[in-house]
Amino acid sequence: MKAVLFDDALRVSHDHPVPDVPSGWARIRVKLAGICQTDLEITKGYLGFRGVLGHEFVGEVEQCADPAWRGRRVVGEINAACGACDWCARGLGRHCPNRTTLGIAGLDGCMADFCVLPVANLLEVPAAISDERAVLVEPLSAACEILEQQPLKGHERIVVLGDGRLGLLCAWVLSTVAQDVTLVGHHPEKLVLAPWRGLRTCAHAEDVKPGADVVVEATGSGSGLALAMALCRPRGTIVLKSTVASPGAINLAPVVIHEMTVRGSRCGRFKDGLALMQKHPDMPLERLITAQRPIDEALNAFEQAGSGKALKVLLRINP
């Protein structure tokens, strides 16, 4: 099968083995796959992953022991937990120490004709949701994770740092609950796409009044945390959404001095992302899609995705 591989270099293979289907798993024929910041960071050495890239997809179940799943259009939770450890027993399979993660750790990803996941990870996509919206369930669910970790009353002042795809999604999700949300970025062509439900934008961080109740760091850069600390109020909350491969030193004294809470925030539950899509069909998700390219053009697609000018670049895998 065709597959986008990273093994010290990014390449497209035309003869990668079709994955076997373990008991309790399903093989999915991938229709669309998205390139995200984590994929770009992996090509820089993040997590040391080698194999088929990709964890954002929509596809159809091609093979499964349960015939009821065959032919269904699905998305899939990316963490394959062991199901037997204490973390899994607590419902925290996303943090299972024995887990594999689609296209990120120990499990070939979805930038291929086929990928495999446990049946328990699959969610059927409602007919009203297009493929182009469904492929964004994973990053949208990651944005929804903020609401699970940080319950909001609606009166909070919130600042989201970063006008990339994840930053926009976080700002839109938070705007469904809070009335005072500001997105800070420095790409006018991206900020112009952001307004929805009263969301404000700002092109210069120095113009943002410090003292925000919640600051979401989604810049994808190592300097984002320092800016978040500068904008957060004492005893406020900083939510970290970026995964950055490059190491760097940072002074955390403001966190201690101002008694801030810092939350790491990673994957969300896909049921929340799908539910939000259905509840807010006017959420302008299509604005995020900069381009769609066939899998054979994956190298150019990655270059475009990493240019700083694109939001979401999709790979067309199968019609």
Map 74-111 to HEC letters. Answer: EEECCEECCCCCHHHHCCCHHHCCCCEEECCEEECCCC
- Vertex 221, ends 189 and 241: CA angle to 5°? 90
Predicted confidence at residue 245, as pLDDT, reads 52
3-state secondary structure of 43: coil
**Cβ atoms 238, 215 nearer than 8 A:** yes
Residues (pLDDT < 70) of the chain are 243-248
Running DSSP on this structure, what letter comes out for residue 186?
A: S
Q: What is the pLDDT of residues 82-129, one digit of tens each?
A: 989 999 999 888 889 999 999 999 999 999 999 999 999 999 999 999
Predicted confidence at residue 228, as pLDDT, reads 95
The whole-angstrom separation of Cα 154 and Cα 277 is 20
The whole-angstrom separation of Cα 130 and Cα 231 is 38
The pTM assigned to this predicted structure is 0.91
What residues pair up with 180 in beta bridges, in sequence order? Answer: 157
Phi and psi for 154 in degrees, rounded to 5?
A: 110, -15
Predicted confidence at residue 216, as pLDDT, reads 97
Domains of the chain: 3-128+281-316 (3.90.180.10), 143-264 (3.40.50.720)
How do strand 100-102 and strand 79-80 relate by DSSP bridges?
antiparallel
Predicted confidence at residue 248, as pLDDT, reads 65
* Strand order from edge to edge, sheet including 106-107: 79-80, 100-102, 106-107
Predicted confidence at residue 45, as pLDDT, reads 87
Phi and psi for 263 in degrees, rounded to 5?
A: -115, 125
Please give the span between the terminal C-alpha atoms of the chain, in angstroms, as a whole number: 15
